[in-house]
Structure 1
Amino acid sequence: MRSDFQFASLLGSVYRNGNLEYTKDGKTLLSPVGNRVSVFDLVNNSCFTFAYQHRKSVQRIALNPQNTLLLSIDTDGRAILVNFRSRVVLHHFNFAAKDIQDVKFSPDGKFFAVATTRFLQLWRISASDIEEEENPEVVNYNDRQFAPFTKFRKLAGHFNDILSISWSRDSRFLLTTSKDMTTRIWSLHSKESQAKMSLAGHRDYVVNAFFNNKQDIIYTLSKDGALLQWEYTKKAVQNDEDSDSEEEEEEDEAQELTKLSWRITKRNYFYAPDHSFVKSSTFHPGSNMLIVGFSNGEFRLYELPSFTLIQQLSIGQNAINTVTVNSTGEWLAFGAAKLGQLLVYEWQSESYILKQQGHFDSMNCVCYSADGSRAITGSDDGKIKVWDLKSGFCLATFSEHRAAVTGVELSSKNAVLFSSSLDGTVRAWDLLRYRNFRTFVAPESRVQFTSVTIDPSGEVVVATALGSDEVFVWSVQTGQLLDSLTGHEAPVIQVSFGKERPVLASASWDKTVRVWDIFGRSQTSEPFQVYSDVVALAMRPDCKQLAVSTLDGQISIWDIEAGKQIGNIDAKKDILVGRYLGDSFTAQNSKRARFFSTIAYSFDGSALICAGKNNSICLYDVDNEVMLRRFKVSENMALDGTLVKLNSSRFTEDGVNLDLVDDAGENSDLEDRIDNTLPGSQRGGDPSLRNVRPEVRVTSLKFSPAATEFVAASTEGLLLYSIDTRTIFDPLDLDMDITPESITEALANEDYLAALVMSLRLNEDYLLAKSFEAVPLNDIPLVVRDVPVVHLPRLVQFVGEWASNGVHLEFALLWLKSILENHGKHIRENKMKYGSGLRLVQRFIGRVAKEVVRVAKDNEYLYDFLSSSKSTEVDEDVNMDNADINIDDVLVKVNDDKDDDVVEDAGESDDDEENEWLGPSDVVKTSGVTSFGDASDEDEE
């Protein structure tokens, strides 16, 4: 079992706090998610999350104009400089200031400005280049050294915190706005210091200030909705009849330049009802368009300087925390922190490019689709979301549950999803039509279900209830309760089916695990007795082995057929336990959560992945009972359970932790002083923030069917770990004669089998592709027949990967057909070795089936037209009639296959097309607002 898993992406969280940032081309959007930064490619429909982590949540991000350097700053003022293209961390730095409100790179990319409380800090990126430009005779080329950025100047002048920074187009001047209700103009160079001045005239916080494209007009926007226009002009002077001195007139003319100043030339005001105020704003100088976001979820577009309202829309009832526009002025990005919502809006066509939202509350459960391309999560907010792992976007949201979702399970055919909830229902969902088609309930009232599982055939669904010692069994077809399994003497906490046989295992707090034969209505063995309370259960896919995690930190391995324990893993020493904020001891002395509350087998059953209410995910080798790898869930110190040592500086003489003191009443803003959160609440559907610190934990995790990745539902979101195959060289049976030159020589001599076998032994992707594509079509069956069995798993894996990413449909199908004809029996007998490759093949076949059905549907009317235009003259149109017959046969076959649930294998539906991502070319054709089914209940309707 390979253990080289790496962090790949963070799903389920698209925006948390801070600002959004576009790349220079305007096609990629950067968003802070907790203590990480995610990148959304709006054109290629994909996203990824940087692997590095901050110690606290990210407050501000900035990208230089060259799209090479990314600067992210957390709430403690600690900054990380990253190479945006190679995703490599270059430098760590501490600005020693909390709650930095803004950071901006200069348009030329040589400087960046940071607002640290009431001070403005200017930093330069490449010090030697700037010194060479300003003073070329002073630069000593022998003294050059690496310095990511150095402080250039520190400016003071505001009397309160700075809120925003704006650069001029030529990178010579800056505008800063502050809570002291003023805007200040700064000069980058000391020789232009006379340009420094203060602009006062607002009656509330100045939210933002902008230069226009020609830099002759300044716009300042305050929190109360006042927009002031400033121009560099001369003050109007009244004529004095008594002053007829020619000398005074000459002095006035000489001092004409000194009388020029920035003055208010126009005042405009927004009408904001219901006590709403300006929350965020941005300006696009090229089109003179101002975008303003309000605290009531409304945003408006204005054309300046005429102050003409272009559009006025609302995206919800919660405040728009940030808004930005791309370089072309076409796409607007909005972020709402309270709902975790991210929207990209194309204002000209009034269509959404991207509309995504995570769960309100923490995730409780997760499961994979059969082909490993999707993940389904359930949360405390009562919602179920379907995620596309390749793109990272949410495809659909189910919100019929009225309480927390505690379990999700997908049937083997990938078309029916089952979920359990604390609202007393187990629901079945049709993933083709995205609807709830059946609901299962218990005969007793007030039953809250805690887990659910489905047998391999999809005939029965089984669930457990909170505080109940019974196991409920329903028929999927009729929805009737078939049986209530009894035998446990304490509440049953989890049930699990295998993947190959209808063997059911149930774990209880009575320190036993029971195995049931559902269709035989009898137990297959005696109860398995363990030495502590069972907290987690997992069954191997072949139903021959199960693993049990207990409260004392032990993992017991049991042979189901023999009914005896065959292994034990002591996991207490492997768990990373952190201290909570209220703990007066270090993490080393903590006894909290030293056990795993969720475990899962890999597809081949050789590895076990474990996690719980702690900061560690451990990967174990089952046969050798050793830990292969340990992953740290999060380094975010804003979460309980990530701290290790005591910080004595945060404790008073009386032993009171200052971090536990609520100082919200000292905030300057009224909306920050008001506390509407639920005291001490950690669960529920309320989307507001809790006034208790969230704790780091993993509630559920699953291995992918291909065993190349796994997901973990954590406090931060859905963590995705995958095997990185880009830098791995794993040759098989290598000797001195196998070289790239010998493979090339074999291909030149048309010895395709030898070239393919040597490529498989060398295990280099580019050589495999070269040998694979060189085989003629007629020779494919002969080459496949003589491939050694030891190299067959790698060949199936490669064909599945190549087919999934390639475009040569017929070529890939011929290879698959030859492999199954010549080695199908061997593959069936050793399917555990071929699991990963077969899953890739299944995904490829599903995609092909979906495309065939879609083509048939799109050409339905064309077929009707061709069929109706048949000529009655048989002697002239014999060939055309034959062609029509062939078309008819093909389409009839496709329609028959579609009725027989070909779409089910593809995992798509006609209704799902409404939830697909829209590209720029699709936006022009779309009128109105398109719902993606994942933002809110109103949008889904």
Structure 2
Amino acid sequence: MKFSYEFSHLCGTVYTQGNILFTPDGNSLLSPVGNRITMFDLINNSSRTFAFESRKNVYAMAVSHDSRLLIAVDEDGHSLLVNLKKAIVLYRFNFKAPVRALRFSPDDRYIAATSGNKIQVWKAPGLKREFAPFVHHRTYSGHHGDVLSIEWSPDSKFFITSAKDLSVRLWSLNPYPKFTPYTFVGHRDVVVAAFFSEDGQTIYTISRDGGAYLWQHNYEDLDHEDSDSDEEDEEPVPIIARGVKWSTRRKHVFKMEFAKVDCAAFHAASNLLTVGFGNGTFGLYSLPDFQDIHTLSVTQHRLSSVAINSSGEWLALASQTLGQLLVWEWKSETYVIKQQGHYFDLNALAYSPDGRLLATGADDAKLKLWDTTSGFCYVTFNEHEAPITGVAFTSNGQAVVSCSLDGTVRAFDLNRYKNFRVLTTPNPVQFLSLALDTSGQIVCAGTLDPFHIYVWSLQTGRLTDVLSGHTAPVTSLAFSPSTTEELLLASASWDHTVRVWNVYQNKPYIEPLAHSSDVLAVAFRPDGKQVCSATLNGQLNLWNIADGEMVGQIDGQKDVAGGRHSADAVSAKNNTRSKHFTSVCYSADGTCVLAGGLSKYICIYEVASRQHMLLKKFQLTHNRSLEGVLDKLHSGDMTEAGSKRELNLDVDPIDAEVVQDNALVGAKRAVDPGARKKNLEIFSKAVLFSPTGRAWAAATTEGLLIYSLDETLTFDPFDLDEDITPETIQATLARHEFTKALLMSLHLNEENLIRLCLESVPKDSIILVAESLTDTYLKRLLTLLGKYLSESPHLEYYLTWSLALLNAHGPMLQAHSVEFLSTLRALQKSIVIHFNELSRVCNDNQYTLDYLRNLQQLKSTQTM
């Protein structure tokens, strides 16, 4: 069993805070998600979360105009310099102050960043590798409040800043004889943004109260002799640098139901201005006349950031309160993407049988389905009225079932996307756990009180049985995966027991399995002969189902220990707070157990032998914005009244005003759902292996983390000698010895050579070559076929290869079904994806052909 899993994707969260921005080509959108960054490819309808992490939540980002560099700055001013195309961190730099805005100059030679009430300009890193890429150019001071925005002039010689002191200032990159920094005053509220026109001769300023001013300089007042002398120089002095004065030429007020302006973006080429308001409405205006083009309400909460792509066709909108992200094509008035993550804790997750979909349930009472290939949420079910505590797919993958604290178990059809079954009990209860049998016809749910397990028939929707025996809440349920005449159900409870039930006979299968502490989770091994349970004291217990004996015990309390809260007075080592597992899952081959819980760690244990070793320990995040990440605290964050985080001493005044605007007068309880996101602790509520065995997912505080195996093949010198080289393999192919060449490439284990040998085999010879292969490399070859099916255009060719291998080695695959389970499911996943795509194309073609045939018959009838 491989355990070299690496971070692959982050779902469940699409936006956290900070600014969103388009890449210079306008086809992708960058969004900060916690201390990571997700790139949404709007052309290919896919997303990708970069593996690198910042120290805290990302607050400001900037991309160079050549798409080469990305700078991401966190809340404390620590930044990452990233190669955007390769997603590799090149350098880490500390601005030593929070950065609210960051901009590359149009020529990519300089970077301007805010630092409190000052502006720092740095020389941008070049193509050469340097020990210190950031070179300080100059620090500008003059504002009496924190600077909020920066915008460069088109010639990269000037930049304009807006601040909380209600003023806007114009600065020059290099000193000029007659130029002094110019101050624009007149606004009555904080200036949110300021922009240059495309020619750089006009400046637009927007304040928080909706006031928008257009400023132009008085070039006619200049001395013509000075202008003529400047034109004789080798490098003419810009007009702005000749001491011109600016005046207000136009004033406009955005009236949006008394909502204040929170963000703005400007597209100079098309003179489009996008303004986001505090009531969730955005407006699109044409400058310089401030003509209203579009006004659309996209959410009920404030818009935190807006952006316009390079062509001016797409508008990106983000709301921090609910974690919403939208891209709107204003000409056609359609959504390009419309995504929203869970804004409360994730409680449960489930993989579809083919591993292509992930279902998540959270405290926000929403059930979402995520595509593991693209990373997008494509359907959300809102029928539940209370937090969802359990999720499960049916065996055929056509429906998903969820249970909730609202006392209902609901089944959703994934073809029609509707709730087709609601399962209830005679008396109101709250469900904590859920399980479906392998046939997908029996649904079981455990309750918080009165400690029963209810059994329904999914086909009829009738309550068929009630299993009683537990004396405390039923926290976890699991059906035996084996297909036998006896349908076994394992249930875990706070009464320190795990009970195994024979559901068909409505009686216990064996005596209750006693534990020394509350049981929080239970899972069956894929062969149905063993059960793993997790208890409150941090232990994992392995039980043999046949005789009810404990065959192993893993003390994982020290493995998951670590992490200190900002309010803790003791060290993490001496902390009495319990660290334990709340979710366990077996791997596809049953040799490993994945466990996660109230800790920043997720552990993989080997349970096939008697040693029960810890194979690997994964730290979910290094985000210091969350509690429980650091083992040691910094004394500078402590005050006489406690930690700064607990006291919220670093809350921005403007952000405090925004929250106050949305609160009810005299109400002590926060009405803002985002208030529940303060001082969150890092932990995982559910972990699960993918049916393919190539990945596993965890429902954590930050979202749905997906870890997968590295798809690239590594060098494996098995049955390798000096005669097996790339040259000899190509020579063997030239002699049309296809079987020998394929075996040699499998020995060398280089993917490009294996693919060359596979595609060199004639279609008529595939069956013969497949029968000649040994069983040693069959698993490796089937894994590669599953990968090539998903990315190669030669669909029929690789399907022929897959069918030939399955027919030739069918008995061996059936005898070792557990060993090949993950490989066969990965192959099935690729085939199902192509099947669905081809079915959709064939249906469209069929409708088109029917339309053309009817049209031809209609024309022939009219001519007659």
- Please report the TM-score for the alignment, with normalisation by the length of structure 2: 0.92
SS in 2 for 1:177: strand
632, 644, 655: which one pairs with 1:645? 632
Q: Distance in 1 between matches of 2:290 and 2:176?
A: 36
159, 175, 181: which one pairs with 2:160? 175
Matching residue of 2:299: 316
Matching residue of 1:151: 136
Matching residue of 1:768: 754
Q: Distance in 2 between matches of 1:19 and 1:581?
A: 27
Q: Distance in 2 between matches of 1:183 and 1:684?
A: 34
Matching residue of 1:500: 482
809, 817, 837: which one pairs with 2:795? 809
1:177-234 deviation digits (Å, cap 9, x = unpaired): 1111111110101236715211112121111111111111111111122221111116
SS in 2 for 1:54: coil
Q: Distance in 1 between matches of 2:265 and 2:612?
A: 57
1:122 is matched by which residue type in structure 2? V
Aligned in 2, Cα 1:669/1:266: closer, same or farther, shift over 3 Å?
farther
SS in 2 for 1:778: helix
Bigger CA radius of gyration? 1
1:767-808 deviation digits (Å, cap 9, x = unpaired): 111111111122111111121112221222222222222222
Q: CA deviation at 1:863?
A: 5.3
Aligned in 2, Cα 1:219/1:816: closer, same or farther, shift over 3 Å?
same
Query: Where does 1:347-746 land on structure 2 (aligned, <5 Å)?
Result: 347-445=330-428, 447-501=429-483, 502-623=487-608, 624-653=611-640, 656-663=642-649, 667=653, 671-672=657-658, 674=660, 687-690=673-676, 692-726=678-712, 728-746=714-732
SS in 1 for 2:676: coil
Q: Is the 8 A contact 1:282 1:290 kept in 2?
A: yes
Q: Distance in 1 between matches of 2:670 and 2:684?
A: 18
- Matched-pair identity in %: 42
SS in 1 for 2:162: strand
Aligned in 2, Cα 1:689/1:286: closer, same or farther, shift over 3 Å?
same
Q: CA deviation at 1:760?
A: 2.1
Matching residue of 1:84: 84
Matching residue of 2:285: 302
Q: Is the 8 A contact 1:120 1:155 kept in 2?
A: yes
Aligned in 2, Cα 1:732/1:639: closer, same or farther, shift over 3 Å?
same
1:546-600 deviation digits (Å, cap 9, x = unpaired): 1111122111111212322211111112114211122111111113232111111
SS in 1 for 2:62: strand
Query: Which runs of at least 4 in structure 1 moved beyond 6 Å after TM superposition?
Result: 248-251, 253-260, 675-678, 683-686, 865-871
Matching residue of 2:30: 30
Q: Distance in 2 between matches of 1:113 and 1:340?
A: 28
Q: CA deviation at 1:721?
A: 0.5
Q: CA deviation at 1:126?
A: 4.1
Q: Distance in 1 between matches of 2:637 and 2:651?
A: 20
Q: Distance in 2 between matches of 1:14 and 1:868?
A: 46
Aligned in 2, Cα 1:158/1:848: closer, same or farther, shift over 3 Å?
closer
Q: CA deviation at 1:418?
A: 0.8
Matching residue of 1:909: none
Q: Distance in 2 between matches of 1:249 and 1:425?
A: 82
1:297-320 deviation digits (Å, cap 9, x = unpaired): 111222212222222222122111
Q: Distance in 2 between matches of 1:766 and 1:665?
A: 54
183, 200, 207: which one pairs with 1:215? 200
Q: CA deviation at 1:673?
A: 6.5
SS in 2 for 1:597: strand
Q: Is the 8 A contact 1:577 1:593 kept in 2?
A: no
Q: Distance in 1 between matches of 2:855 and 2:79?
A: 70
Matching residue of 1:747: 733
2:793 is matched by which residue type in structure 1? V
Aligned in 2, Cα 1:272/1:864: closer, same or farther, shift over 3 Å?
closer
Q: Is the 8 A contact 1:360 1:686 kept in 2?
A: no
2:761 is matched by which residue type in structure 1? V
SS in 1 for 2:326: strand
Matching residue of 1:919: none
Q: Which moved more, 1:390-399 or 1:795-804?
A: 795-804
1:594-613 deviation digits (Å, cap 9, x = unpaired): 21111111111111111111
SS in 2 for 1:587: coil
Q: CA deviation at 1:71?
A: 0.8
1:490-548 deviation digits (Å, cap 9, x = unpaired): 33211101323332111122222121222243333222222222111111122111111
Q: Is the 8 A contact 1:231 1:264 kept in 2?
A: yes
Structure 1 position 284 matched with structure 2 position 267: yes
SS in 2 for 1:191: coil
1:834 is matched by which residue type in structure 2? F
Equivalent residue pairs, number:
841
Q: Is the 8 A contact 1:613 1:698 kept in 2?
A: yes
Q: Distance in 2 between matches of 1:503 and 1:614?
A: 31
Q: Is the 8 A contact 1:381 1:684 kept in 2?
A: no
Q: Which has the higher contact order (CA 8 A, sep 6+)?
A: 1
SS in 1 for 2:809: helix
Q: Is the 8 A contact 1:677 1:689 kept in 2?
A: no
Q: CA deviation at 1:844?
A: 3.0
Q: Distance in 1 between matches of 2:481 and 2:707?
A: 23
Q: Distance in 2 between matches of 1:522 and 1:317?
A: 52
CA RMSD of aligned residues (A): 2.9
SS in 2 for 1:43: coil
Matching residue of 1:782: 768
2:104 is matched by which residue type in structure 1? F
1:21-79 deviation digits (Å, cap 9, x = unpaired): 21111111111111111111111111111212222211101111121111111111111
Aligned in 2, Cα 1:842/1:190: closer, same or farther, shift over 3 Å?
same
Structure 1 position 186 matched with structure 2 position 168: no
1:240-285 deviation digits (Å, cap 9, x = unpaired): xxxxxxxx9999x999999963322422323424321111111111
2:471 is matched by which residue type in structure 1? E
SS in 1 for 2:776: helix
Q: Distance in 1 between matches of 2:850 and 2:647?
A: 74
Structure 1 position 228 matched with structure 2 position 187: no
Q: Which moved more, 1:736-745 or 1:164-173?
A: 736-745
Q: Is the 8 A contact 1:384 1:397 kept in 2?
A: yes
Aligned in 2, Cα 1:479/1:633: closer, same or farther, shift over 3 Å?
same
Aligned in 2, Cα 1:420/1:123: closer, same or farther, shift over 3 Å?
same
Matching residue of 1:832: 818
Q: Is the 8 A contact 1:697 1:714 kept in 2?
A: yes
- Please report the TM-score for the alignment, with normalisation by the length of structure 1: 0.85
SS in 1 for 2:573: helix
Q: Is the 8 A contact 1:578 1:590 kept in 2?
A: no
Q: Distance in 1 between matches of 2:319 and 2:28?
A: 19
Aligned in 2, Cα 1:565/1:347: closer, same or farther, shift over 3 Å?
same
Q: CA deviation at 1:674?
A: 2.3
Q: CA deviation at 1:710?
A: 0.6
Q: CA deviation at 1:468?
A: 3.1
Aligned in 2, Cα 1:676/1:686: closer, same or farther, shift over 3 Å?
closer
1:611-664 deviation digits (Å, cap 9, x = unpaired): 1111101111112411111111121222121132233333345x6333322448
Q: Distance in 2 between matches of 1:459 and 1:684?
A: 43
Q: CA deviation at 1:351?
A: 1.3
Query: Where does 1:890-901 land on structure 2 (aligned, <5 Å)?
Result: none
1:646 is matched by which residue type in structure 2? L
Q: Is the 8 A contact 1:677 1:690 kept in 2?
A: no
Q: CA deviation at 1:766?
A: 1.1
Q: Which moved more, 1:184-193 or 1:336-345?
A: 184-193
Q: Is the 8 A contact 1:609 1:619 kept in 2?
A: yes
Q: Is the 8 A contact 1:333 1:345 kept in 2?
A: yes
